[in-house]
Amino acid sequence: MYRTQDEVSLLRAALGGETAAWGEIVMRYKDAVFGLCLGFLRNRADAEDIAQDAFIRAYVNLRRYNLERKFSTWVFTIAANLCRNRLRYRRNHPVMEVDFEFEGGADPARTVVHEERQARVRKALSALPYTYRAPLVLRFYNDLAYKEIGDILAIPEGTVKTRIHRGKAMLKEKFGEERDLA
């Protein structure tokens, strides 16, 4: 029933108390929000918790949402802020990291190479400071525009571009160091 409705109609219905409409909104964005959280936190359990919490907070504060803005930017901002809070908490309360799970492909050798490359990228990304890691995750894992990233992180678009450029340079440097050690 709700699949064909546009986002604004669904949000209006959710504001009117229709839980099925809110359920459809969650279904449309749950994977993207989870991916965003996973990119920031690098821990599946934390990412699941934060993604769920982001939707709860979005629902509780739905009356404050401006229907003229993109819902994705708003919910990503909520999720990014919750991720920032979790990362601050982690500084004082370290957690054990959990490896990502990838679904296998037809060629086992290609799958192993892909997993090794992804592991190296994750390791290098997690070593970057948050100010560079966050824009990179939003850009390359969530495919967001610079303006949206700026809105989510509350920084100017030019700063987003600079941080992505510098973050990519830091990643290249880390991969260069990795090759030198091998």
Domain boundaries, the chain: 1-98, 105-182
Q: Distances from the Cα of 130 to the Cαs of 98, 136, 162, in angstroms?
A: 19, 10, 14
What CATH class does 1-98 carry? mainly alpha
Instruction: Report yes or no: 80 and 33 within 8 Å, Cβ to Cβ.
Output: no
Q: According to the model, what pLDDT value does residue 119 have? A: 76
pTM of the model: 0.66
pLDDT < 70: residue spans in the chain: 1-4, 93-109, 111-112, 177-182
Q: Which CATH number fits domain 105-182: 1.10.10.10, 3.40.50.300, 1.10.8.60, 1.10.357.10?
A: 1.10.10.10
**pLDDT for 93:** 65
pLDDT of 113 reads 72
| pLDDT value for 139 | 87
pLDDT attached to residue 102: 47
